[in-house]
C-alpha cells in the first residue's frame, strides 16, 4: 500500500488508521483508551483530540471562549462515551506570535468554564510557537470495570438508543456561515441551533442515568460511542466492531424543525451525517433501553441491532443501516 498510495490524500483516513495500528497497543478503537492502570476496581481511560484553526474552528464562527469550551467538551464527551468520569486534563497550545492575549485568555476561560460545569481539572500544559493556532487536549477519566462502554459489545436484538436529537450542530454551523438563512426562521430556533454548535455538552447526565439503571448488573452490557463524527458513522462503527447489522425505525428518528427548514430534502442527511452533536449512541438490551428512555427525557429508541447480512457482511456491517 505504501508504495502505491504516496500521500495521505490518496490513502484516506481509514487507510491511515490501518497503517498506524501496528504501532499502537491493542486497546485502541474506542473513543478513549483503557490504560491498563487500575485504582481499586476502577479503570483509567484516556483520550486526545487536536483542534486546528481553519479546520475545526474559525474566527468567523467561533469565539475564543467557544474554542476553549469545545476543546474541553470534545474530550469530555469521549470520556462520557466510555462511561467514565473526568479526572484531569492537559492542554498543549501552538500559537503564532501575533495571537492576541485576549484570544488565548478567552480560550482558557472557555476551557475552564466547561470543566467547572462538567468536571475535570486542568493539571498541565505546553505552549509553543506555531504558524497556525492549534490546541491539543488530553483527558483522563475513571470508570468501574462493570460500567465500561465499548463499541464491540452490541448484540443482535439490542435496542439502538440516542441520548438526544441530531442535526442541530450542522444547522447551527450553516447559520453561522450564512446568517441570511436565519431570516426565514424564528430567532429562538436559529439561536438554539447556534448554541448547540458552539457549546456542545458532554452527556455525563446520560451516563449517570444509565449507571443508576445498570448498577446491579455484574457485567457491562452496553455498547456505544459519541456521535461527534455523525450519527450514521457512530452506528456503522458500533455495528462493524460488534459484528451486527442495524435496522433504523425512520419514524422514530426525529428531524428538528430548524433542520427541516434549512436542509429541505437533505434533512435526513443532516441528521445522520451532519456530525458534532456530541450525543451518545448506545446499543443495549431492550428492557434496559425502556427504563433508560423513561428516566432520561431527551433519549429515544431509534432502531434495533440485527444479524449481519450473510450475503454481504461487509455492507451490512460496515455501512450498517444504509441498506434498510
List, edge to edge, every strand of the sheet that includes 300-306. 223-226, 280-284, 159-162, 300-306, 245-248
SS3 at position 154: coil
- Minimum distance from CB of 25 to a copy of itself (Å)? 5
Min CB(145)–a copy of itself separation in Å: 15
Residues numbered 29-48 forming contacts with a copy of itself, rule: CB under 8 A: 32-39, 44, 46-48
Count of residues that interact with a copy of itself, criterion CB under 8 A: 75
Interface with a copy of itself in residues 69-128 (CB under 8 A): 87-88, 90-102, 104-105, 108-109, 111-112, 121-128
**Site for a copy of itself, residues 52 to 71, rule: CB under 8 A:** 52, 54-56
145 makes contact with a copy of itself (CB under 8 A): no
**In this structure, what is the dihedral angle of CA atoms 258, 300, 210, 167, given to the nearest 10 degrees?**
-30
Which is nearer to a copy of itself, 5 or 195 (by Cβ)? Answer: 5
Query: Is 130 assigned a ligand-binding role in the annotation?
Result: no
What is the closest distance, in whole angstroms, from the C-beta atom of residue 92 to a copy of itself in the complex? Answer: 4
Bridge partners (DSSP) of residue 142 are: 44, 85
The CA distance from 19 to 80, in Å, is 28
CA–CA dist 93, 90 (Å, integer): 10
Indicate which single residue of 20, 177, 257, 307 sits in contact with a copy of itself (rule: CB under 8 A).
20
Spatial separation of the C-alpha atoms in residues 188 and 194, rounded to whole Å: 10
Stretch that binds a copy of itself, among 13-21, 175-183, 216-224, 282-290 (CB under 8 A): 13-21
Query: CA separation (Å) from 190 to 143, 171, 196, 200, 290?
Result: 37, 8, 10, 15, 32
Is 277 annotated to bind ligand?
Answer: no
Is 56 part of any known ligand binding site? yes
**Residue 7 binds to a copy of itself (criterion: CB under 8 A):** yes
State the cell numbers at 248. 433504523
Coil/strand/helix, residue 287: helix
Asked if 184 and 264 count as a contact pair (C-beta separation under 8 A), the reply is no
Detail the residues annotated as belonging to a binding site.
31, 47-49, 56, 78, 108, 125-126, 151, 226, 228-229, 276, 321
Binding site for substrate, by residue number, is: 56, 276, 321
Amino acid at each position: 500500500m505504501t508504495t502505491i498510495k504516496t500521500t495521505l490524500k490518496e490513502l484516506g483516513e481509514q487507510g491511515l488508521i490501518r497503517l498506524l495500528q501496528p504501532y499502537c497497543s491493542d486497546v485502541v478503537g474506542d473513543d478513549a483508551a483503557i490504560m491498563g492502570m487500575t485504582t481499586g476496581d476502577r479503570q483509567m481511560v484516556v483520550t486526545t483530540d487536536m483542534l486546528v484553526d481553519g479546520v475545526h474552528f474559525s474566527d468567523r464562527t467561533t469565539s475564543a471562549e467557544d474554542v476553549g469550551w469545545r476543546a474541553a467538551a470534545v474530550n469530555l464527551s469521549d470520556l462520557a462515551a466510555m462511561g467514565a468520569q473526568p479526572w484531569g486534563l492537559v492542554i498543549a497550545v501552538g500559537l503564532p506570535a501575533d495571537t492576541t492575549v485576549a484570544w488565548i485568555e478567552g480560550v482558557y476561560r472557555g476551557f475552564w468554564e466547561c470543566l467547572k460545569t462538567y468536571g475535570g481539572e486542568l493539571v498541565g500544559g505546553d505552549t509553543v510557537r506555531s504558524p497556525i493556532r492549534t490546541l491539543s487536549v488530553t483527558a483522563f477519566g475513571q470508570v468501574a470495570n462493570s460500567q465500561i462502554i465499548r463499541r464491540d459489545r452490541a448484540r443482535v436484538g439490542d435496542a439502538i438508543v440516542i441520548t438526544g436529537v441530531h442535526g442541530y450542530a450542522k444547522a447551527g454551523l450553516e447559520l453561522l456561515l450564512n446568517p441570511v438563512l436565519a431570516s426565514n426562521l424564528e430567532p429562538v430556533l436559529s439561536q438554539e441551533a447556534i448554541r448547540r454548535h458552539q457549546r456542545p455538552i458532554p452527556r455525563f447526565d446520560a451516563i449517570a442515568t444509565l449507571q443508576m439503571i445498570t448498577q446491579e448488573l455484574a457485567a457491562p452490557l452496553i455498547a456505544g460511542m459519541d456521535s461527534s463524527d455523525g450519527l450514521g458513522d457512530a452506528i456503522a462503527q458500533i455495528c462493524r466492531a460488534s459484528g451486527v447489522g442495524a435496522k433504523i425505525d425512520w419514524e422514530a428518528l426525529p428531524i428538528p424543525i430548524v433542520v427541516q427548514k434549512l436542509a429541505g430534502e437533505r434533512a435526513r442527511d443532516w441528521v445522520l451525517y451532519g456530525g458534532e452533536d456530541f450525543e451518545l449512541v448506545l446499543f443495549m438490551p431492550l428492557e434496559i433501553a425502556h427504563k433508560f428512555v423513561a428516566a432520561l427525557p431527551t433519549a429515544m429508541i431509534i432502531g434495533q441491532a440485527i444479524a449481519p447480512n450473510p450475503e454481504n457482511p461487509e455492507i451490512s456491517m460496515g455501512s450498517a443501516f444504509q441498506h434498510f
